[in-house]
Amino acid sequence: MTAEYSAHHLQVLEGLEAVRKRPGMYIGSNGSPGLMHCLWEIIDNAVDEAVAGNGSKIDIILHPDGSVEVHDRGRGIPVDVEPRTGLTGVEVVFTKLHAGGKFGGGSYAASGGLHGVGASVVNALSERLDVEVDRGGKVYAMSFRRGEPGLFTDDGEKRPDAPFAPFQDKSELRVIGKAAKGATGTRIRYWADRQIFTKDAAFQLADLENRARQTAFLVPGLELVVHDERVPAGSDAESDASAAAVGNETSYHYEGGISEFVEYLATDAPVTDTWRVQGEGTFKETVPVLQPDGHMVATEVERVCAVDIALRWGTGYETTTRSFVNIIATPKGGTHQQGFEQELLKVLRAQVEQNARRLKVGNDKLEKDDVLAGLTAVLTVNVPEPQFEGQTKEVLGTPAVRQIVAQVLRKDLGERFSSPKRDDKSQAAQLLDKIVAEMKARVSARAHKETQRRKNALESSSLPAKLVDCRSTDVAQTELFIVEGDSALGTAKHARTSEYQALLPIRGKILNVQKASVSDMLSNVECASIIQVIGAGSGRSFDLSTARYGKIILMSDADVDGAHIRTLLLTLFYRYMRPLIEDGRVFAAVPPLHRVIVMNPGSKPNETIYTYSEGELHTLLAKLRKQNKRWHEPIQRYKGLGEMDAEQLASTTMDRSGRLLRRVRMEDAEAAGRVFELLMGNEVAPRREFIIDSSDRLAREAIDA
């Protein structure tokens, strides 16, 4: 560092140097998310061709050497010479920032690639990139090393470290063969530059498959095929009802569009059918337009914004919203999502006011969370040259889109709520009943939470009488054991450490909340007691910071009924107190199955050993036989927690120094939701089919009961 600062300290980065110097500006990071973003840029270009009506299939291939290849059947990148630069279209696209066919030149009506940096950024951050173009009956090819065009001397198989000779005087777009008659398209294969990306950055197959599935929903008729050649065929190819997996190849192809997307995303029972809202609006904006002479002139242009929304409400309270602009996901929303949510609240507030007497709403007013509870929606807009906040295109910034989305939604929902059709009237009434019930549950939960703070010794407590509370007020140290049955409670009282361990007994099997409504759940004595004792509310009003205990431990018998009770409890936590699971504060106690008393010779006291599975017991007995040791017969098999005395229960299940706990984790929320709906939901047929089809694959040791 020096105090001197003059013009010779300034750096001017030319061309792709800026991308390599500051990759985060263009792709967000240099880890796996940035690596995947590069792949999205190439895939989005191929999808733009398909949306424009050119090609109906895209192949994405993950090669064993770490490279990735994208093959589309579009028009092919132009191969003629671009007059201003004197370079072929292929070289312009891959070496010049802010160059492409998506700046209003008429090649694309609406596209996802907007800034003209996608392909060139990927090229700059690749150790090697090869592109082949089928066009005009010929196959054209060009190669690049870290953005510089030249020739690789390959020894049979393509390698990024092969000898490379950059072009000296003039670049060359080679013709390497003949293309089939009428065949057009582009094949791009690249090796990410490990000088840029971190060592652990890798292509995430699950993310790629989710993106491919999502795109297939958004572009009906387009087929995307993911080939993972990095793993042996058939090792872990994911499939769903409309994705045919063949070995390491998975194909995604849907004809139902975003309505089918909503049905895929929704996991709860429906309150309404999937409603489709479509329309468009126009707006004017002043933008710089490139003139034939190369100058930019500010010009007022009229834009057409097309809106397509699919939405349905279910019995749950979770909200699943996916928003897109020109097929590009906008996970952080933007003006289109703001218009959607604001207008949805406005329309439903008006409907509730019109039906206030029937719905008995009183003076309470709907809030956004009441309306969004149980909603699954896919919102797409198509806008020429949308304004995004940042290169990663996660937030739409075009202001006029908000009002257009609101107008389209207002018109369609207004017609639906005023429709004389019996089906429309029935669904509208059911929807209003649901959102008003959500509002009433929120109001009552808020009032309940305000009165359910931990009481000190001088205050009267309204907690359930059956709660055996602890003395400590340090939430980080306290533990709540939810115990199966009063018999186990009696033993647990003597086994616990009363300073920080509280006990709440439940009688039998609680309500299956996956099938029940919110009101049924709140009126169920056992469910209400659990929510009241934890003290953080439920559903959308749940506040993790006010939970009264640091750990929630489910302690049930080690049998099938105990496993069922634990599953019902987990369903309650998953649906109404999910932040506890997400924060890792829910545990399952692991009581022992057997007690083996090993007899020692002479006056040496006998040794007590606990085992937790049949396999562990057989291993122990084999070891004792080998050591010529004897044990008391019969070996005690615990059928329930109540069979243990306080000392045994404390040492095996409750004492922190010797117990075993199993943490309940939720790494994939969507997958967890589908499993809970499958195993605990209203639909019996899929559950029966799952049990029958899966019985052969079930490993007995995987059952923890």
Beta strands 501-506; 479-484: pairing state: parallel
Sequence ranges of the domains in the chain: 17-203, 259-444, 462-591+663-702
Per-residue model confidence as pLDDT tens digits over 404-421: 999 999 999 999 999 999
Q: Which long-range contacts (CB under 8 A, 24 or more apart) does 452-455 make?
A: 452/532, 452/535, 453/535, 453/546, 454/535, 454/548
Average pLDDT over residues 307-326: 92
Q: What are 51's two structure tokens?
A: 């949306």
Cβ(259)–Cβ(274) under 8 Å? yes
Please report how many Cα atoms fall inside a 13 Å half-sphere around the Cα of residue 612, on the Cβ side: 12
Which segment of 80-89, 116-125, 450-459 scores lowest on mean pLDDT?
450-459
Of all residues in the chain, what percent carry a pLDDT higher than 70? 86
Among 45-59, 97-111, 212-226, 495-509, the minimum mean pLDDT is found in 97-111
The encoded tokens of residue 682 equal: 């209203």
Q: Which 8-state DSSP code applies to residue 535?
A: -
Averaged confidence pLDDT in the chain: 83
Burial of 445 (0-12, 13-18, 19+ CB in 10 A): buried
pLDDT at 335: 93
CATH class of the domain whose range is 259-444: alpha beta
pLDDT tens sequence across 221-274: 999 999 998 865 444 444 454 454 444 889 999 998 999 999 999 988 899 999
Contacts with 601 (C-beta within 8 Å, 6 or more apart), sequence order? none
pLDDT tens readout for residues 517-543: 776 777 788 888 898 899 888 887 788
Burial of 229: CB neighbours in 10 Å, binned 0-12, 13-18, 19+ = middle
What are the pLDDT digits (tens) for 116-160? 357 888 998 999 999 999 999 999 999 999 988 999 998 878 999
User: Would you say residue 456 has pLDDT above 80?
Assistant: no
More confident of the two residues 547 and 116: 547
24 token code pair: 């985060």
Q: Omega into 163 within 30° of 0, i.e. cis?
A: no
CATH 3.40.50.670: does it fit domain 462-591+663-702?
yes
Architecture of the 17-203 domain:
2-Layer Sandwich (3.30)
pTM to 2 decimal places: 0.65
